[in-house]
């Protein structure tokens, strides 16, 4: 492999020295403008499929040049990719493999002990021994300017330490705003917050930063860049315009943000108005630079490259600023969404116009490309180690191929967006990922599975073995640093049995509370906890847990069985569903099948108002397993669920495969559930870990003493009015009234009578002209009418066909009532309330009832 690389580089150098046919006949060397956009995702432009972002200037650039569909950043984070741009070398060769200064120093000590590895002693600045593209061009008579983000210096409070690695010490004549910081504190002047020094606009021959007061950062940088083009117009010049946008903080120009707020609908795949505004500001910046080139008559002799440093920031939840779908995940991930990027190159008179190129390319390729396009020889010692190839031939013939079969990535670090230490290779349409933490591999066919949903490593071991061999050869050739063993790593092992205690005694349901199911739903047989799955519902622990390791074994007894383990759950079920708010660890039988939306091998996701940021997500809040390890029915499976300080991980049959973070709640009940099929649980045990301080909003709702009034399987415990016989029906976990008549003669009520009570009941009206009366236990004086035609009540009610939660208390003669969390009746005094009575529902049209709970109150 080393010989092949040297031969290719030597051939490219000869072409450069011979002033290839691509160079101008009159030796008028072209200007070069590179736009490096920060965190720009693969879909973040109209020409790349966005149906929201308005990017006419970027789209025009694509129509006048070559748009690459399979362009890759050299790394899933910024600094390594920027180093690859400057040097033409893989980050692994440079030993600059994470953003400076990386996430690991920021990880809490209690979380570090869950990580098997730690980063190597990697290089946290761009070393002077490399010849940057700016230095190579400067030696060839080019004026060179850097505008925007640099982020290739060491992090230090000593300016003298940092400044020796600034752009002006790396071949740039001008430097605007390039320093040690990877993001501004704010996009409005003075571009800094508490911990940030800010974006220094220190530049020769230009006004100081104070004169930009009130300006939006992207606009200010564009002003400087336009002035630099004017300054260097006699050329040739190299402008490296590395916008801080669209990196966080997500802060668009106010006028553009308001514009997108009015444009966004539920149908748009992109939904963040602030991010959309930032993208449009970048597009306007591209337009302004090109307008200046037009004004100066330089367009026809200027090469424009538009690219990104890593994938878009798609954390897989609704709060993500962008959506990389169909790519999997985003910035900081091991998957395509973390490294596939938009790239466009325009070269008037040479490059074809308005065409796409499907050849895989990578950031390292820009260095030799610029050398060839400008007829620059560069430093031959440096060139001997180039990893990139010139793309010039692709610009003339986009359907041609490069003399290369493979691309590589190496990231021996942890990233809070999901990446664990890994290396990866793409060869043809195959992509192999090797994970250092557990040594497993994943193989994807990008031609048929762009979203990387199906690991083919076991189905095609010959491809996996071939790619792994090439990956090992490459890592040795470039001297890739593997991650180091973490001396603080404290994995859970089977010899810590003494610290566990059983949650299930194998004899009865002691310690467990049937929340909303029939007495027959859960039973004990042969030391197993057996769930019939009828009705759909849950069993929960009788106390809450915060930090713990939960172990259990489970098996489905029927194909396509669906069950789950909930952690950090509330005391009762959520509105209009038979399940709790919490974090679900899914228990699916293999025949249920894998899709893009779920797998049968241990997905983790928040439900019914809980929240979680997934590792290994697919554009939503669900975390997907990195490996398929679940056994089919009726074989037993082992789960080890670790919940600590809002982080959750799942080991399936001995191997961690699924993880999530930033969970809320992060203290609550543990629940078991089944949805219609028989499932067995056994050997349920728990080891509690030390609790940490926790905010109130992260604590689930504690036990309020409620018990469910409905078995979920029949009308036991309820009395139907004589004229309503056959009109009230039980359907799993829902009580339904299907009659057309109304009034007390068609009501349903509890057989048991109650006095002072708290109550919860979910109600869904099927008709806008219908209504219902709720009589909470104390006779006619306590009747509450739920009527969507009442203007005051309609403001609180969910739309017709959606569930409403009615919650209240009747204590003495005082009634309090909430609808969907809004106070409708506040301590109203009732006249003539009887001492006790049943809970009754009086219909006026079709409706559904679910989750009726009641608790006795002290008088």
Range of the domain at 512: 494-702
Cβ neighbours for 264, distance < 8 A, ≥ 6 positions apart: 52, 270, 271, 273, 276
Residue burial 281-294, b: 16+ Cβ < 10 Å; e: rest? bbbbbbbbbbebbe
- Look up residue 675 and give its DSSP letter: S
Contacts 24+ apart (CB under 8 A), 444-447: 446/336
487 assigned to some structural domain: no
- Look up residue 216 and give its DSSP letter: B
| Residues 742 and 696 grouped into a single domain | no
Q: Domain with 41 in it: what CATH number?
A: 3.40.720.10
454 assigned to some structural domain: no
Count of domains in the chain? 3
**How far apart (Å, rounded) are the C-alpha atoms in residues 531 and 677?**
8
The partner residues of 585 in beta bridges, in order of sequence, read 565, 604
Examine the fold and report which residue of 376, 402, 428 is the final residue of a domain before the chain moves on. Answer: 376
The token pair at 828 is 């109203």
| Residues 563 and 663 grouped into a single domain | yes
Could you give the residue ranges of the DSSP H alpha helices within 608-712? none
| Residues 668 and 635 grouped into a single domain | yes
**Which residue's structure tokens are 């969907």?**
820
The partner residues of 775 in beta bridges, in order of sequence, read 840
**Which residue's structure tokens are 């903080």?**
249
202 assigned to some structural domain: yes
| Residues 665 and 754 grouped into a single domain | no
800 assigned to some structural domain: yes
The CA distances from residue 57 to 291, 418, 642, 688, 790, in Å, are: 10, 33, 49, 57, 52
| Residues 663 and 741 grouped into a single domain | no
**How far apart (Å, rounded) are the C-alpha atoms in residues 583 and 671?**
10
**How far apart (Å, rounded) are the C-alpha atoms in residues 186 and 192?**
6
| Residues 665 and 792 grouped into a single domain | no
56 phi-psi bin (left φ>0, alpha ψ -120 to 50, beta other) = alpha
240 assigned to some structural domain: yes
321 assigned to some structural domain: yes
| Backbone φ and ψ of 724, nearest 5° | -105, 15
Cβ neighbours for 195, distance < 8 A, ≥ 6 positions apart: 185
| Residues 692 and 793 grouped into a single domain | no
| Residues 806 and 688 grouped into a single domain | no
Examine the fold and report which residue of 376, 404, 439 is the final residue of a domain before the chain moves on. Answer: 376
| Residues 252 and 210 grouped into a single domain | yes
β-strand pairing of 669-674 with 537-541: antiparallel
| Residues 668 and 784 grouped into a single domain | no
Q: Which residue stretches of the chain have pLDDT < 50? A: 1-21, 23-26, 193-198, 200-207, 493-498
The CA distances from residue 755 to 485, 513, 783, 825, 857, in Å, are: 64, 24, 15, 19, 8
Examine the fold and report which residue of 341, 376, 411 is the final residue of a domain before the chain moves on. Answer: 376
| Residues 634 and 752 grouped into a single domain | no
| Residues 663 and 757 grouped into a single domain | no
113 assigned to some structural domain: no
**How far apart (Å, rounded) are the C-alpha atoms in residues 71 and 308?**
10
482 assigned to some structural domain: no
The partner residues of 241 in beta bridges, in order of sequence, read 35, 147
**Which residue's structure tokens are 């919860």?**
760
55, exposed or middle or buried, with CB in 10 Å at 0-12, 13-18, 19+? buried
**How far apart (Å, rounded) are the C-alpha atoms in residues 38 and 310?**
7
Q: Domain with 620 in it: what CATH number?
A: 2.60.120.560
Cut 0.85: pTM above it: no
């Amino acid at each position: 492999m080393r010989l092949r690389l040297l031969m290719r580089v030597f051939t490219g150098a000869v072409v450069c020295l011979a002033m290839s046919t691509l160079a101008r006949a009159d030796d008028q060397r072209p200007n070069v403008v590179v736009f490096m956009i920060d965190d720009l995702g693969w879909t973040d432009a109209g020409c790349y499929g966005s149906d929201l972002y308005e990017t006419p200037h970027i789209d025009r650039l694509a129509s006048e040049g070559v748009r690459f569909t399979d362009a890759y950043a050299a790394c899933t984070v910024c600094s390594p990719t920027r180093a690859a741009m400057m040097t033409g070398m893989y980050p692994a060769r440079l030993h600059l493999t994470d953003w400076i200064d990386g996430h690991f120093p920021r990880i809490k000590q209690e979380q570090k002990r869950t990580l098997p590895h730690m980063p190597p002693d990697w290089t946290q600045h761009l070393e002077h021994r490399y010849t940057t593209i700016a230095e190579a061009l400067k030696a060839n008579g080019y004026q060179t300017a850097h505008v925007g983000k640099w982020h290739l210096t060491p992090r230090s409070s000593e300016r003298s330490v940092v400044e020796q690695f600034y752009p002006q010490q790396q071949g740039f004549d001008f430097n605007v705003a390039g320093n040690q910081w990877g993001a501004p504190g704010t996009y409005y002047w003075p571009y800094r917050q508490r911990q940030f020094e800010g974006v220094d606009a220190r530049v020769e021959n230009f006004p100081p930063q104070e004169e930009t007061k009130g300006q939006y950062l992207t606009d200010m940088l564009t002003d400087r860049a336009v002035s630099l083009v004017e300054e260097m117009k006699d050329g040739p010049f190299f402008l490296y315009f590395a916008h801080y946008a669209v990196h966080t903080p997500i802060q668009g120009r106010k006028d553009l943000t308001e514009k997108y707020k009015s444009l966004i609908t539920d149908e748009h795949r992109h939904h963040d108005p602030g991010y959309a505004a930032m993208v449009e500001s970048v597009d306007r910046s591209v337009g302004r630079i090109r307008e200046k080139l037009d004004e100066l008559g330089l367009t026809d002799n200027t090469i424009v490259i538009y690219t990104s440093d890593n994938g878009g920031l798609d954390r897989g939840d609704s709060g993500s600023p962008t959506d990389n779908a169909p790519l999997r995940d985003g910035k900081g991930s091991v998957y395509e969404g973390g490294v596939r990027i938009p790239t466009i190159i325009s070269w008037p008179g040479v490059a074809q116009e308005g065409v796409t190129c499907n050849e895989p390319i990578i950031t390292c390729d820009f260095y030799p490309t610029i050398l060839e396009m400008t007829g620059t020889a560069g430093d031959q010692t440096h060139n001997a180690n180039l990893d990139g190839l010139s793309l010039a031939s692709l610009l003339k013939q986009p359907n041609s191929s490069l003399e290369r079969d493979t691309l590589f990535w190496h990231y021996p670090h942890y990233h809070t967006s999901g990446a664990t230490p890994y290396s990866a290779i793409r060869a043809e349409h195959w992509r192999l990922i090797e994970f250092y933490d557990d040594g497993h591999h994943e193989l994807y066919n990008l031609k048929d599975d762009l979203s990387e949903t199906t690991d083919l490593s076991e189905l095609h071991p010959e491809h996996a073995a071939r790619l792994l061999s090439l990956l090992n050869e490459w890592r040795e050739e470039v001297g890739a640093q593997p991650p180091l063993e973490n001396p603080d790593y404290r994995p859970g092992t089977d010899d810590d049995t003494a610290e566990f205690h059983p949650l299930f005694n194998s004899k009865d349901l002691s310690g467990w509370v049937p929340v909303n199911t029939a007495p027959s739903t859960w039973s004990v047989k042969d030391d197993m906890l057996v769930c019939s799955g009828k009705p759909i519902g849950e069993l929960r622990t009788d106390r809450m847990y915060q930090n713990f390791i939960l172990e259990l074994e489970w098996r489905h007894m029927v194909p396509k069985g669906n069950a789950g383990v909930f952690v950090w759950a509330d005391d009762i079920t959520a509105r209009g569903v038979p399940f709790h708010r919490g974090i679900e660890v899914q228990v699916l039988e293999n025949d249920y099948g894998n899709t893009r939306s779920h797998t049968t091998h241990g997905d983790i996701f928040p439900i019914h108002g809980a929240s979680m940021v997934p590792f290994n997500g697919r554009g939503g809040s669900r975390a997907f397993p990195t490996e398929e390890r679940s056994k089919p029915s009726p074989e037993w499976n082992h789960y080890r669920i670790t919940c600590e300080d809002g982080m959750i991980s799942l080991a399936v049959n001995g191997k961690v495969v699924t993880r999530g973070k930033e969970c809320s709640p992060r203290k609550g009940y543990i629940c078991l559930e089944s949805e219609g099929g028989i499932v067995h649980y056994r050997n349920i045990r728990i080891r509690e870990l030390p609790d940490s301080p926790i905010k109130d909003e992260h604590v689930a709702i504690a036990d309020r003493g409620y018990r469910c009034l409905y078995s979920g399987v029949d009308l036991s415990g309820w009395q139907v009015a004589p004229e309503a016989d056959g009109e009230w029906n039980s359907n799993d976990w829902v009580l339904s009234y299907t009659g057309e008549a109304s009034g007390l003669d068609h009501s349903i009520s509890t057989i048991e009578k109650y006095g002072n009570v708290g109550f919860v009941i979910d109600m869904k009206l099927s008709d806008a002209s219908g209504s219902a009366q709720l009589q909470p236990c104390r006779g006619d004086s306590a009747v509450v009418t739920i009527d969507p035609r009442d203007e005051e009540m309609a403001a609180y009610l969910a739309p017709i066909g959606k569930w409403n939660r009615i919650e209240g208390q009747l204590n003495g003669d005082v009634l309090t009532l909430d609808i969907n969390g809004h106070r409708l009746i506040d301590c109203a005094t009732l006249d003539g309330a009887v001492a006790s009575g049943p809970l009754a529902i009086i219909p006026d049209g079709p409706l559904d009832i679910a989750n009726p709970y009641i608790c006795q109150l002290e008088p």
